[in-house]
């Protein structure tokens, strides 16, 4: 049976969306942060394997910046649109740098 690997772009976007969703619905921000961190670590591992350390570092910075940037953006466009927007941007960057090569 072939091993199916979830693309890093899906993991990264899922971490941002899932982290926010868990924090919002459970009202436990640390739990949402844990989801964000686990997904970020899993995506970073794939980024390193597929595109190398420099690319993984850059994408990790983008992931953290997306998380941080979603907060001020949410004040302008709303929470969910902000989270979905930054998740889409990170997914696109991840696909362009790492996933399209796989």
* pLDDT reading at 1 higher than 70: no
Helix (H) or strand (E) holding 27: none
Q: Measure the CA–CA gap between 60 and 90, rounded to whole angstroms.
A: 10
**Is residue 8 very low, low, confident or very high in pLDDT (cuts 50, 70, 90)?**
very high
Quick one: pLDDT at residue 3?
A: 74
Task: Give the pLDDT band of residue 2 (cuts 50, 70, 90).
Answer: low
Asked whether 16 and 87 are in contact (CB, 8 A), the reply is yes
Integer Cα distance of 35 and 12 in angstroms: 11
Q: How many CA atoms lie within 13 A of 54 on its CB side?
A: 0
- CA dist 23 and 98 (Å) reads 28
What does the pLDDT average to over 62-86?
A: 97
pTM of the model: 0.93
Measured between alpha carbons, how far is 92 from 16 in angstroms, rounded to an integer? 13
């Amino acid at each position: 049976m072939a091993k199916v690997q979830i693309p890093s772009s899906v993991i990264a976007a899922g971490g941002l969306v899932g982290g926010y969703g868990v924090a919002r619905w459970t009202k436990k921000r640390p739990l949402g942060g844990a989801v964000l961190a686990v997904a970020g670590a899993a995506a970073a591992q794939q980024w390193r394997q597929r595109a190398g350390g420099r690319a993984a570092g850059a994408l990790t910075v983008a992931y953290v910046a997306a998380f941080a940037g979603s907060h001020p953006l949410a004040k302008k466009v709303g929470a969910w649109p902000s989270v979905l927007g930054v998740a889409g941007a990170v997914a696109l960057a991840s696909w362009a740098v790492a996933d399209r090569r796989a």
